[in-house]
Structure 1
């Protein structure tokens, strides 16, 4: 279904019955990211998948400020309200994890349990933010200049995703095909408005989180393991689980184990 929130069209799907579970995909992804888990999770939950602004079948407005992560978190609240949902479990991956964390801090009454897969509270210093904003701006300009195909060629070969080279050729082709479904404007503006350099730093507010939280990282993704180790020390109701022989996209590299761990956490 399509839902219009504050003038922006969002593509939203729901499946199953039970306590709501909201799923938020990563940068260059869309709601089909979660397709392998829907039959399992929808047995116990009303599963809600959203194409985040600038991705998939949702709108890709030209106004960069519309991609601001706090603005998008407000849109997520609007989507839940449209569906008549007062509280949900929320799972976010990478960019979707940063959005899930932002949503949980801005609208804590809506979040019962929180799962953050390879996610970050942002950067700790202004210097780091400024440097990252420059990187994101350069990458945004690269997309606009060279188009989606050249960008995807670059993106799938960055060190963050090197462990995905061990996936089957079919799986790699499926991921590549899905990335091509995105638009130049949507991806470039997502980097400018919702990139790690653009979002607020939430490090000093992590202790405010009331939702029981599960942090998930792959052991070969050393950067995000380091982040998760620091995060869990600042959070009152969090635990951290590391996946052996796995990189950034755990749900892609170890889907069976990932699906089971999420189900167990949500059912306890």
Structure 2
């Protein structure tokens, strides 16, 4: 596994790579809000399949730049950055995996660049919010969260953040939860608040009307205890023609963290169909 930094429009992006010499389709990994490429290290170490692996610190996260310009965090800018990163590595076609926020970006990229995406894995994610009133409510909620990030120490903020019902199952693994909170505190407040303001679920375009037109294979993964996203992904599964839903029993929103072996098995089974 190598760590590289590349410049995209004057901002430095930190990227983890492995096995780039493989002739198979590159497998590109996107983290969630306040995460980094490091969340996928377990996959780099244990996937044991011959794929080039590329995990990206998205703008405002990890060791990637956290510019003050809000416009660099909106959906169109994120899509452009991802496109330029793929071009940097001379990637014409790829398989994308995204968790939560990263899943929303992966889905958006797949729909807007159908000729470049051969397969898609979405973990605990969604195609956005259809209802305009609910979308506006979510925008206001995320603006409030951004204000909290600005006013608190990051450790205090994330300690409260992970008390939300969607993360309740993490209390069963206190050591992992404590480590997770520590990892979140390395982020930059400017990057986090701009990410919320620019690409919250309320800010992204709703793709509910587009997913039924997708033709690529799609793997949907969620935890059985994450009732909100279990319902969302069941609905997605019913709409996306070539999709499969895998439920990681006994886990919540961060299913790859809570039961990584089961998550790996889901991913391996999906990827094997792409081996050349």
Q: Quick check: 1:9–1:58 contact (8 Å CA) kept in 2? A: yes
Where does structure 1 lack aligned partners over 5 or more consecutive residues?
Answer: none
| TM-score calculated relative to the size of structure 2 | 0.93
| 1:92 equivalent in structure 2 | 98
Picking from 133, 136, 139, the partner of 2:139 is: 133
Give the superposition deviation at 1:237.
1.2
Which of 202, 206, 210 is the aligned partner of 1:205? 210
In 2, Cα distance between the equivalents of 1:232 and 1:9? 36
Out of 102, 110, 115, the residue aligned to residue 108 of structure 2 is 102
CA distance in 2, matches of 1:8, 1:206: 32
Given the alignment, which residue of 29, 38, 50 partners 1:32?
38
Distance in 2 between residues matched to 1:173 and 1:150, nearest whole Å: 12
Equivalent residue number for residue 120 of structure 2: 114
Work out the CA distance in 1 between the residues paired with 2:116 and 2:254.
26
Kindly indicate whether the alpha-carbon contact (under 8 Å) linking 1:118 and 1:248 is maintained by their aligned counterparts in 2: yes
Q: Does 1:233 align with 2:256?
A: no
The one of 10, 13, 31 aligned to 1:10: 13
Structure 1 residue 61 corresponds to structure 2 residue 67: yes
Over residues 152-177 of structure 1, what are the superposed CA-to-partner deviations in whole Å (9 max), with x where a residue is unaligned? 121121111110111152x2232112
1:72 is matched with: 78
Partner of 2:46, secondary structure, is: helix
Q: Secondary structure at the match of 1:175?
A: helix
Structure 1 counterpart SS, 2:98 = strand
**Is 1:172 aligned with 2:177?**
yes
* Contact 1:114–1:211 (CA under 8 A) maintained in structure 2: yes
Please provide the CA RMSD for this pair: 1.2
**Alpha-carbon distance between aligned partners in 1 of 2:198 and 2:227, rounded to the nearest angstrom:** 26
Which residue of structure 1 aligns with residue 249 of structure 2? 244
* Local SS of the residue matching 1:140: helix
Normalization by structure 1: what TM-score?
0.96
Greater displacement, 67-76 / 83-92: 67-76
Give yes or no for contact 1:10–1:51 (8 Å, CA) kept in 2: yes
Distance 1:191 1:156 in 2: 16
**Equivalent residue in structure 2 for 1:156, among 143, 158, 162:** 162
In structure 1, C-alpha distance between the alignment counterparts of 2:12 and 2:214, rounded to whole Å: 30
The residue that corresponds to 1:214 in the other structure is 219
Instruction: Using the TM superposition, give the Cα deviation of residue 40 of structure 1 relative to its aligned residue in structure 2, in angstroms.
Output: 2.6
CA drift of 1:240 comes to 1.0
CA contact (8 A) 1:10 1:58 kept: yes
The 2-side partners of 1:165 and 1:29 are apart by: 19
1:167-220, Cα deviation, whole Å (9 max, x unpaired) = 152x22321121011011111111100101111111011122222101111111
Question: Deviation per CA, 1:124-171, whole angstroms, max 9, x where unpaired?
Answer: 1111110000000000011112231221121121111110111152x2
